[in-house]
Amino acid sequence: MSASTESRDRLRIAIQKSGRLADPARALLGACGLSWRESRDRLFCYGEALPIDLLLVRDDDIPGLIADGVCDLGIVGRNVLAEQDLDRRQNGVAPAFRELVPLGFGGCRLALAVPDDWEWRGAGQLANRRIATSYPALLRNWLAEQGIDADVVTLSGSVEIAPRLGQADLICDLVSSGATLAANQLKPVTTLLDSEAVLAGPVAEFEGERALLAELLLRRLDGALRTRHSRLLMFQAERAAIPRLLPLLPDAESPTVLQVDGADRLALQALCHGRLTWQRLEDLKRAGAQGLMVLPVESMLA
């Protein structure tokens, strides 16, 4: 463990300063009960509710900050973490960080994309082609797995215009909606990595006070992630309708059933973990649910 971590009994989490992951990362940590003395413009936010501080940095710096022990945890795309991990391995450097928890936002995939007029017949077509990417380690690793010898052109940005500029024949880049590829007359043909934001940490275990703080944070994170799509569903129904209603709630934890008046009228409460769409509520109503109410869940402790 490096010198910078030895004397700290506070936990330090690196998140993106600005960009796609910045706001959702903050919101998620906020949902875990963390708060900071506001200093959005600075690099460092001092934790108030708990001794957990934030470092606001570029996403690409997060794995290295964990490796160097400058911070303990980080929220970063799996794509960045996997690229830097492979790069270290390919250069004979020992693994120093790892994915701890997938966080369910920042979803995208690293994909090969070819010009629209290519007819894709598989990886064999890539031999001796030039492929532009910002993810050379992941791409080289994939090409090696496929047994393909191709030319990897490393670019730090605007990869999607490389084929039009004649820098490459095809690209390997992140895709979410696919609109950027379409606008550049490219089409995705195969996925190398499915990605989302993850909580990353060191390979080595934490010790002392920071181990307790990390454990606390992971527990709260688990609760916050489970609560995110959970809703409390409440309704009343005749007893006879129950066999029609329960199959519509496959994602509900065993519902609480209360008798309302007489033996035949029941009130039900169910914690649902899937999405309660309008369609589902209408189906429930048709099956006999009355006075349907959907409530958000603030927190949950297992």
Count of Cβ atoms closer than 10 Å to residue 58 Cβ: 12
**Measured from the CB atom, is 35 or 176 closer to ligand PRT?**
176
Angle ∠(284,289,295) on CA atoms, nearest 5? 80
What is the C-alpha separation between 203 and 219, in angstroms, rounded? 19
Angle ∠(101,104,109) on CA atoms, nearest 5? 100
* Residue 74 sits in the site that holds ligand PRT (CB under 6 A): no
Candidates 49-57, 59-67, 121-129, 162-170: pick the segment binding Zn ion (CB under 5 A): 59-67
Q: Which does 227 bind (CB under 5 to 8 A by kind): ligand PRT, Zn ion, none?
A: none
* Residue 60 sits in the site that holds ligand PRT (CB under 6 A): yes
Under 8 Å between Cβ of 181 and 175: yes
Residue from 54, 55, 74, 79 that binds ligand PRT (CB under 6 A)?
Answer: 79
Q: Which does 16 bind (CB under 5 to 8 A by kind): Zn ion, ligand PRT, none?
A: ligand PRT
Q: Which does 179 bind (CB under 5 to 8 A by kind): Zn ion, ligand PRT, none?
A: ligand PRT
Residue from 60, 68, 99, 251 that binds Zn ion (CB under 5 A)?
Answer: 60
Site for ligand PRT in 142-181 (CB under 6 A): 160, 173-180
**Measured from the CB atom, is 180 or 190 closer to ligand PRT?**
180
In sequence order, which residues have a C-beta less than 8 Å from that of residue 14 and are 6 or more positions away? 54, 55, 56, 57, 61, 62, 65, 66, 70, 71, 73, 74, 75, 76
Q: Which does 174 bind (CB under 5 to 8 A by kind): Zn ion, ligand PRT, none?
A: ligand PRT
Residue from 11, 13, 45, 59 that binds Zn ion (CB under 5 A)?
Answer: 59
Q: Which residues bind ligand PRT (CB under 6 A)?
A: 16, 19-21, 58-60, 77, 79-80, 106, 108, 160, 173-180, 195
Under the rule (CB under 5 A), what is the footprint of Zn ion?
59-60
